[in-house]
Amino acid sequence: MVNNVIKSVAVKLSSLPFIEGIVLGGSRARGIYTEDSDIDIR
């Protein structure tokens, strides 16, 4: 579920001409997230 949200946000952001890149950070990027973890996008 959350992975689908992350992918959907990335697709929408990447379609904007002023977005040069999208980086997933935090515990989700490190693979140590819990069900209460937030999503860090930079």
| Range 4-7 contact pairs with CB under 8 angstroms and sequence separation of 24 or more | 5/39, 6/39, 6/41
Average the pLDDT over 2-23 and give the result.
92
Is pLDDT of 40 > 90? yes
Range of the domain at 21: 2-41
Residues 27 and 37: beta-carbon distance below 8 Å:
yes
| % of the chain beyond a pLDDT of 90 | 83
The count of domains in the chain is 1
Average pLDDT, the chain: 92
Average the pLDDT over 13-35 and give the result.
94
What's the predicted TM-score (pTM) here? 0.69
Contacts of 6 (CB under 8 A, 6+ apart): 24, 28, 39, 41
Q: Which of 18, 25, 20, 17 is nearest to 42 (CA)?
A: 25
